[in-house]
Structure formats: C-alpha cells, structure tokens
Amino acid sequence: MQTQRSALLVGATGLVGDELLTRILQSDLYTDLQVISRKPLTTTHAKLKTHVQSFDQLDHLSKQSPAVFEVDDVFCCLGTTLKTAGSKQAFEAVDYGYVVALARACEQQGASRFFLVSAVGANPKSNNFYSQVKGRAEVAVSKLSFSAVYWIRPSLLLGEREEHRSGEAWAQRLAPIFSPLLAGPLRQLRPVSATDVANHIMDLAAVEAPGQHITYPSRN
C-alpha cells in the first residue's frame, strides 16, 4: 500500500494501544493520527492530535467534531475485564457499546478500514460471557460498510499494565513453561506480547486486503 493515510486510534493508554500509538506515529504509512482518550497522553508528535473525551460521549463528539472520525483507518483497542468493570453491564458497555458506537461514527464519516483488537475465543454464541460479548461486537462491526474489517484475536497479553491484575501476573510468569506445549491448532492460545500484537496489526495495515479477516497474532 503506497498511498499515505490518516488514522484514528481509540484505547491508546492500554497495553496494545500504547504500543500501537508509537508504531503509527513512526510509520510512513500515516500522515496524521487522531486519538480519543479518557485522559491526556504524555506523548507528543507533529502528526498527533489528542481528544480527551469520555467514551460514553462518542456520539456527542461525532456530532460536534465529525472531522475526528473522517479518517481512512480506525484502530480500536478498547477493552476491560469483568473485575475492573465491576459488573457484566459495565463490561458490556465498554467491550460492546463503546466499540460499536465508535464503528458507527467512523462509518458515517467514510472510514474505510476498521481494526478491532478482540480476543481469542470470541463467539456470540459462547457460554462464556466475556467471549460472547467480544463475539457480538465483532458481528456488529461486520455489518457496517467498511471496505475491510480485521478482528485481531490475541490470547493472554504479555506486558506491563498500569493496573495490577493478579491472575495475569501469575500467567505471565508461567507463560515460558506452558507456551511450548501449545502446538498445532492450540498455537493460537499461546500468550503474546503487546509489542507483537502491535507489530502484527501494522503488518496488516500495510497491505490492501478488502473483506473481513480473523487473525491470531503470535509471538516472534
């Protein structure tokens, strides 16, 4: 893909979003980057414009400042956990409600590609609430008129988070032991670093591939 593009990143303060922010700013593929964030970023760059906004006000922002959503590519790294959210309803508001609101706002302003960081096991018919919500978000985005949609489904993410998640901390310590045991079809369950996920997304962005794509980033 030779044409330089514009991008919107949401979820830039998260594990994958932070890594992706750096790579988009460094990439010659993008001339400018809009970021919607709950809090100010410490990063500054000539092609970066940050909009501090609560995610439950995305509809309001799209009406007041539609130019924020007038981009070629959208990178959605929104996500939380049931524990952090505090309830199933609050979790669904983030991982489904905010994601779909973002996608619809971008579709209305003519965005062409949508990259959604989802999760391994995402399935709208899953008995697991987390996986079900992730799957429903994927389905909702797939019904919009983007020329290309990417569902990036990492397994356990490796990296240093601002918030402490005790379960993930233990899993990260054990990852070097059990990862080699996950071979063949189970390879997609291997823990993967946020750095590798961000690199994987940028590799996808560099190639023009219309349609809908499910991808599983793996460790390098």
> Catalytic residue positions?
130, 134
141: which 2 tokens?
Answer: 């985005």
Task: Let me know: does 44 contact 70? Beta carbons within 8 Å.
Answer: no
Residues comprising the chain, all counted = 220
DSSP type of residue 180: G
* 220: Cα separation from own chain's centroid: 19
How far apart are alpha carbons 113 and 103 in whole angstroms? Answer: 10
Residue of 158, 62, 46, 53 whose CA lies nearest to 101: 62
Ramachandran region, residue 11 (left: φ > 0; alpha: ψ -120 to 50; beta: rest): left
d(CA 17, CA 175): 22
| 133, 91 contact by CB (below 8 A) | yes
